[in-house]
């Protein structure tokens, strides 16, 4: 007996739905989330930095904006930039990658290639450029076709391993300089949903050689989507991040490592032409603010270095995420229906940063700062994962944030992350 072709198709769809909804090929969630914590003497701190090129071949899918957007040329190279903080007993690495985002499973795989570093002591932060390859899989030719290039992921891993090893090999005794300045209230960064609501803080943490005062590496931190280039763009580009980091070097400050902040809902460039000239202009103006922060910096005493990590589980209930996993374009492990991610904490003396796995909305970041009573807490966004937008519960129910809600695993993802960070 032959099955009608339509029946066969329905059977396949039914089996796929069963696999997706019944929990087949999922893991059981541990009763308690995994935690990691270290504190070590950092009075003999050594610092090194390095970078490696990860510019892909032209022709691959670009992540963000629209489906089926393929690159046609290179405007600004993509890079991995690394800052290593070495103590006599522990090594910590802050890794900045020019990419939209890298999933937790891939980040863990990348970290397994590092020698001399514990997983929890490495912070892998995506810049969130919308002009880099799709490492998540959701921007292929159409919604059932992945844009993810596994061979390119290998290239990224090799570059991270090489850059971290080079930075560690170059590490020398250092002192740290910590400074802060403010982005202008208008004209450079905007909130497309709620005008004027964005994190104006720009934080600069520079390591200087104890021997000759030369710069060893600088962490540059501000919060904004690197999307000066428009939706129709087909150029490979690190966007303003590359322009900022190269400008920092050209001004004599050495290697820069960029980490994004609370850029969610929807913190974007403002008042610039949406082209390569606009990219350069944003980079130069951001570099000016970073130099202001450096000029006002003071020596940061560092007696100890502390790292903490906690796994979080985010239910994958949003329609787009479920469809992505059903069609295998989103190759994400599930634990009883939830994606496993993590939050983190880094302290160097009085410098404190939290690591969040997606695009935290600035009002939620302010709530976390208030609950922890740490007004200058730095937010490492898109750290070790890209889970989409992280909103306050009240914003997740607001029609103004309908798009952001659709690009989040669940309505309460932001609140789950907040609770894991604050213990409330």
For 208-237, write each residue's pLDDT tens digit: 999 999 999 999 999 999 999 999 999 999
Helix axes 362-372, 413-422, angle to 10 degrees: 20
Q: Is the peptide bond before 266 cis (omega within 30 degrees of 0)?
A: yes
The CA distances from residue 373 to 203, 221, 346, 352, 356, in Å, are 18, 20, 16, 12, 18
Q: Which two tokens stand for residue 310?
A: 């906690």
What is the torsion angle, in degrees rounded to the nearest 10, for the CA atoms of residue 135, residue 32, residue 322 and residue 230?
Answer: -40
pLDDT computed for residue 329 by the predictor:
86
How many whole angstroms separate alpha carbon 189 and alpha carbon 177? 26
Rounded Cα–Cα distance for residues 60 and 147 (Å):
8
Predicted local distance difference test score (pLDDT) of residue 3: 40
How far is the C-alpha of 95 from the C-alpha of 164, rounded, in Å?
Answer: 8
Torsions phi, psi for 332 (to 5 deg)? -120, 135
* pLDDT, position 13: 46
Phi, psi at residue 219, to the nearest 5°?
-90, 120
For helices 104-111 and 150-170, give the axis angle rounded to 10 degrees: 50
d(CA 347, CA 116): 20
Helix axes 319-326, 5-22, angle to 10 degrees: 120
228: closest CA among 134, 129, 111, 323?
129
pTM (predicted TM-score): 0.94
Determine the Cα–Cα distance for residues 421 and 258; give it in Å rounded to an integer.
Answer: 23
- What does the DSSP assignment read for 100-130? S---HHHHHHHHTT-SS--GGGEEEEE---S
User: For 39, phi and psi rounded to 5 degrees?
Assistant: -140, 130
Side-chain-side CA neighbours of 170 within 13 Å: the count stands at 20
Low-confidence ranges of the chain (pLDDT < 50): 1-24
**99: helix, coil or strand?**
coil
pLDDT of 23 reads 45
Contact 59, 71 (CB under 8 A): yes
Question: What is the Cα gyration radius of the chain?
Answer: 21
Q: How far apart are CA 231 and CA 36, in angstroms?
A: 40
Q: How far is CA 310 from CA 68, 289, 335, 381, 387, in A?
A: 36, 33, 16, 16, 16
């Amino acid at each position: 007996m032959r099955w009608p072709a339509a029946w066969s198709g329905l059977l396949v769809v039914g089996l796929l739905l069963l696999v997706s909804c019944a929990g087949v090929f999922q893991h059981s969630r541990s009763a308690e989330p995994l935690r990691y914590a270290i504190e070590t003497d950092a009075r003999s701190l050594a610092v090194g930095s390095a970078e490696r090129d990860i510019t892909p071949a032209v022709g691959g899918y670009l992540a963000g904006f629209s489906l089926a957007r393929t690159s046609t040329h290179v405007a600004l190279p993509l890079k991995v930039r690394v800052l290593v903080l070495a103590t006599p007993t522990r090594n910590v690495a802050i890794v900045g990658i020019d990419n939209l985002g890298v999933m937790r499973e891939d980040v863990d795989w990348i970290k397994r290639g590092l020698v001399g570093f514990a997983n929890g002591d490495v912070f892998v932060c995506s810049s969130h450029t919308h002009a880099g390859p799709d490492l998540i899989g959701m921007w292929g030719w159409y919604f059932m076709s992945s844009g993810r290039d596994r061979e390119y992921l290998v290239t990224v891993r090799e570059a991270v391993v090489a850059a971290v090893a080079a930075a560690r090999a170059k590490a020398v005794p250092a002192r740290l300089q910590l400074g802060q300045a403010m982005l202008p209230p208008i004209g450079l960064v905007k909130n497309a949903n709620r005008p004027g609501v964005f994190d104006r803080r720009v934080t600069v943490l520079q390591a200087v050689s104890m021997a000759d005062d030369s710069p060893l590496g600088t962490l540059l931190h501000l919060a904004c989507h690197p999307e000066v280039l428009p939706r129709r763009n087909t150029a490979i580009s690190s966007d303003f991040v590359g322009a900022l980091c190269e400008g920092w070097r050209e001004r004599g400050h050495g290697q820069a490592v960029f980490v994004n902040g609370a850029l969610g809902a929807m913190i974007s460039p403002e008042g610039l032409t949406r082209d390569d000239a606009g990219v350069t202009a944003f980079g130069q103006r951001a570099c000016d603010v970073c130099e202001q922060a450096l000029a006002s910096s003071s020596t940061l005493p560092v007696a100890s270095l502390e790292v903490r990590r906690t796994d979080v589980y985010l239910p994958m209930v949003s329609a787009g995420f479920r469809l992505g996993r059903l069609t295998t374009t989103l190759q994400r492990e599930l634990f009883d229906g939830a994606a496993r991610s993590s939050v983190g904490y880094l302290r160097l003396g009085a410098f404190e940063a939290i690591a969040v796995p997606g695009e935290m909305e600035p009002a939620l970041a302010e709530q976390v700062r208030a609950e922890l009573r740490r007004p200058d807490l730095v937010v490492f966004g898109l750290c070790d994962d890209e889970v989409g937008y992280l909103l306050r519960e009240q914003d997740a129910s607001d029609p103004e944030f309908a798009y952001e809600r659709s690009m989040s695993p669940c309505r309460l993802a932001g609140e789950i992350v907040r609770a894991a960070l604050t213990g409330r």
